[in-house]
Amino acid sequence: MFRKILVANRGEIACRVMATARRLAVSTVAVYSDADARARHVTMADEAVHVGGSNARESYLLWRRIIDAARATGAQAIHPGYGFVAENAEFAQACAAAGLVFVGPPPGAIAAMGSKSAAKTLMAKAGVPLVPGYHGENNEPAFLAREAERIGYPVLIKASAGGGGRGMRRVDKAEDFAAALESCQREAQASFGDARVLVERYVTRPRHIEIQVFADSHGNVIHLNERDCSVQRRHQKVLEESPAPGMSETRRAELGAAAVAAARAVGYVGAGTVEFVAEERYDGDIRAYFMEMNTRLQVEHPVTEAVTGLDLVEWQLRIAAGERLPLTQDGVPLRGHAIEARICAENPDNDFLPATGRLAVMRWPAHVAFERPHDDAWLPRVDSGFGEGDGVGPYYDSMIAKLIVWGEDRAMALARLDAALRDTHIVGLHSNVAFLRRAAASRSFATADLDTALIERERAALFDATPLPDEVVAAGIAAHALAADAASEDADPWSRRDGWRLCGPARRRCDLRIGARALVVDLQRRQDGARTLSIGEQHWPFEAQRRDDGRHDVRLGERRLVLSVYRDAERWAVFGAAGSAHVTEVDALALAGEHVADAGSLTAPMPGKVVSLLVAAGERVRRGQPLVVIEAMKMEHTLHAPSDGAVEALLYAVGDPVAEGDELLRLAQAAKS
C-alpha cells in the first residue's frame, strides 16, 4: 500500500478519498485554488498545496502543477476523483512519466473510452447494441444537420468527450438544430476542452442504467451490479439507486457480461462505469443500448458500496498498488436497497438555477455517518465537502452533499430517505432538499415508474408546492422569538421581555413575506399568561417550549407540533414533519411604499460570465426570445426577454464577468395598443 497519495480534486470526492486513506493509514495531500483556501478537503488533508486561481482552468485543470505538487510533497500516487483531470489520458501518461501511480485506468483505456464516438465504434465491433445515430468524426454543422434528419427527430446532441450532463441538448425540430449544436459545442469546449459531438435518436422513455466494473492488472474483471440513475434534471442525475427496480437476474447478468466485455476490450484496470440507455418493452422486459463508459469512480458509487458492503476507494488504491481483486464474480454480494440524493445549491422553482451564498445553517439527521462506506449501513450517510458557515461560490459544481440511505428493501430505503431529508436543514441559500423529498415521495418514484422525464411528468406535484401552512410558519417564528427572549432575560424585572404588563395584554407584531404574499402575524399575551396567535381574523391558542435539542414543542389550537426554526438576518426558516418554509421579515413601513421593479431590464440570476449575446442594440424582440447566455457553475443558462420590445443597450460584452442582479441589457417595452 502507498504511504502518501495526492488527491487531485476538491469537495466531497476529495474528502471521501481522504476518509478511506486515513483508515488505511495513508497520508494525504490536497490541492486547492484561491476559492478553496479554507475548504473542508484542505483542512482534512495532512498537507495542502496551492495550485492557482479560483477558475478551474487556472487551477484544478492545470495538471502539470498537480504533478509538481505530488513530487514536491513525496506523494507516490495521485487519485483524480471524478471530473477535472480524472479522464485525461495525457495526465495519466504524464503521471507515469513522473514516476507517479495514477489511481485509474491506463492512458490507452481512457483514450479509447474518452471519446463517445470512438467508444461506440469499439462497442459496435464487439456486438454491443447501440442507439441509432451518428458517432463519426465529421462535425461540420451542415453534415450533422443532415444526419439528424436521417436519424429522425427528436435527436440528442452529446459532447463526445463529455459527462455529467454537460454538452448535451435535446432537439425536437430541424429549425432548432443549429442553435442547439452551437450551444452544445461551446459548453463542451468550456467543460472538456473538446467541442466534438455525436448525434443520436432520442429514446422517448429512457431509463439510465449503469454497471459498476472493476479490473486489476492481473487480467481479472468483474462487475458489482447495477444502478438506476433515471431521475435527472438538465441531464444530470438527482436520485440514484441500486439495484435497479424491475431488473431481472437474467438481464442483470447480460448487462454485467456486456460491461465486463467492454472493460476487457480496452485493457481496463481500476474502477469504471459502463452506462446504458434503457427502455421498458411492452412485455415489461428492459432493453438496453450502450451509451458510454466513464473511466473513473462515479458520483453515485456510495449506493453500490451500501448494497455490497465494499469500500470502492480502498479497492481502487489496492488495485493501483498492484494487488488482485479481492472477490470473484460469484462472491459479489447484493443485499437490500440503497438510494442517493444529490443535495445542490439551486432553486428548483426557477429552472434549477444554481445558487451561491453562505451555508448559514447545515444540519443533518441526529445520527449520521460521514464518508463511511460500509459500517452501520442502516445509518444515513453524508458525503460533503462543506461545513456550516462555508460559502458556495460560482466556480464549481453546485452539489453541496450526497445523502445516502439503505434499507432491507426499497420500501424501507424510501422511508429512511424521507426521514433523512425531513431532518436535513439548509439555510442561507436556495437548495433542492424540499424538492428531493417531494420527488422521492412522488407517485412515479414511489412505484418505480422510472424514466428521465419523471420530473417533468410529476411537475404538478414537484414545483410551486405549498409550503407549511401560514399559521404553522407563524407559530414557529413566534416560538423562536419567545425562546430568544427567555435566553436574554436580565435580572432587572423592568428589562424582561416576557410580555408582562402592569395592565392590559401585551401584543407583538411581525410582518412576513412568503413568496409574493405579505403576512401580518400578531402574538398576544394576557395578564394570566395565556397566549393567542392571530393572522387576520383567525386566532389560535398558542403555547411553546424550547427543547434541549433546540427544537420547539408548539401547541397551536388543538394541534401539537415539533418545529425547528432558524434565523439568518431578516430571513427565517421553519422545518416541520410536513415540510419547510423560508420567509422574510420585512419593515411594515417599507411594505407600504414598495414598488414593482423595472420590467424593461434583464438581470443576471446568478454570478457568472457572459458567453453569448443573441441580439444587437436596436433589435426588436418578442417575449420569451433568447437574449443572453451566461455560464455559471460549469453550465450554460439562456436568459429570455421578459416582454416584447426593443433592445436599447447592451451593458456587457462576451467574456465579461457578472454578479447576481447585474443588469445585462435594457429593453424599451413595446407600446400597448
pLDDT (tens digit per residue) in 72-119: 999 999 999 999 999 999 999 999 999 999 999 999 999 988 777 778
How many Cβ atoms are within 10 Å of 661's Cβ, its own excluded?
10
Mean pLDDT of the region 264-275:
94
DSSP string, 41-101: HHHHSSEEEEEE-SSGGGTTT-HHHHHHHHHHHT-SEEE--SSTTTT-HHHHHHHHHTT-E
Report the range of poorest mean pLDDT among 303-307, 627-631, 658-662: 658-662
Contact call for residues 333 and 343 (beta carbons, < 8 A): no
CATH 3.40.50.970 fits 132-201, yes or no: no
- Locate the DSSP E strands across 140-220: 155-159, 168-171, 197-201, 207-215
Q: What's the chain's Rg over C-alpha atoms? A: 27
Mean pLDDT of the region 230-239:
92
CA angle 375, 379, 385 (to 5 degrees): 85
Question: Could you give the C-alpha distances from 384 to 41, 50, 387, 388, 559, in angstroms and in order?
Answer: 9, 21, 8, 11, 36
- Cβ-in-10-Å burial (0-12, 13-18, 19+) of 139 comes to middle
pLDDT at position 595:
40
Residue 98 corresponds to which cell in the numbers above? 513522473
Q: Write out pLDDT tens, residues 575-605.
A: 999 999 999 998 765 544 444 334 467 888 7
Residue 622 or residue 50, greater confidence: 50
State the CATH class of domain 4-103: alpha beta
Residue 485's contacts (CB-CB under 8 Å, 6 or more residues apart) are 497, 498
Q: Is the pLDDT of residue 541 over 80?
A: yes
Residue 315 corresponds to which cell in the numbers above? 479497492
Length of the chain: 673
Q: Is the pLDDT of residue 23 over 50?
A: yes
Q: Is the pLDDT of residue 14 over 50?
A: yes
Mean pLDDT of the region 596-616:
76
Catalytic site residue from 296, 318, 416, 531: 296
State the CATH class of domain 470-592: alpha beta
pLDDT at position 500:
55
Taking the domains of the chain in order of start, what are their residue ranges? 4-103, 132-201, 207-462, 470-592, 601-669
Query: What are the residue ranges of helices labelled H in 423-555?
Result: 433-441, 443-446, 454-457, 459-462, 470-487
Q: Tell me, rounded to whole angstroms, the distance of Cα 15 from its chain centroid.
A: 17
CATH 3.30.470.20 fits 207-462, yes or no: yes
Please indicate whether residue 324 is annotated as part of the active site.
no
The mean pLDDT value of the chain amounts to 90
Nearest to 321 by CA among 638, 664, 24: 24
Q: Write out pLDDT tens, residues 390-431.
A: 999 989 999 999 999 999 999 999 999 999 999 999 999 999
Q: Is the pLDDT of residue 672 over 60?
A: no
Best-predicted range by mean pLDDT (165-169, 431-435, 505-509): 431-435
Residue 500 corresponds to which cell in the numbers above? 408582562
Residue 352 corresponds to which cell in the numbers above? 434549477
Contact call for residues 89 and 104 (beta carbons, < 8 A): no
Mean pLDDT of the region 323-344:
97
pLDDT at position 631:
83
Nearest to 39 by CA among 427, 394, 390: 390
Nearest to 636 by CA among 23, 187, 283, 56: 187
Residue 392 corresponds to which cell in the numbers above? 458556495
The percent of residues in the chain predicted with pLDDT above 70, rounded, is: 93
Q: Label each residue of 292-310 as H, E or C.
A: EEECCCCCCHHHHHHHHCC
pLDDT at position 491:
46
Residue 329 or residue 190, greater confidence: 329
Contact call for residues 335 and 309 (beta carbons, < 8 A): yes
pTM score, whole prediction: 0.83
Residue 641 corresponds to which cell in the numbers above? 426577454
Q: Write out pLDDT tens, residues 455-478.
A: 999 999 998 777 789 999 999 999
pLDDT at position 601:
72
Residue 204 or residue 578, greater confidence: 578
Q: Is the pLDDT of residue 244 over 50?
A: yes
Q: Is the pLDDT of residue 489 over 90?
A: no
Residue 20's contacts (CB-CB under 8 Å, 6 or more residues apart) are 311, 313, 314, 317, 371, 373
CATH number (1.10.10.10, 3.40.50.300, 2.40.50.100, 1.10.1370.30) of 601-669 reads: 2.40.50.100
Task: State phi, psi for 367 to the nearest 5 degrees.
Answer: -120, 115
Report the range of poorest mean pLDDT among 63-72, 122-131, 616-625: 122-131
pLDDT at position 673:
44
Q: Is the pLDDT of residue 442 over 50?
A: yes
* Whole-number Å distance between alpha carbons of 660 and 134: 39
* Whole-number Å distance between alpha carbons of 383 and 434: 19
pLDDT at position 381:
97
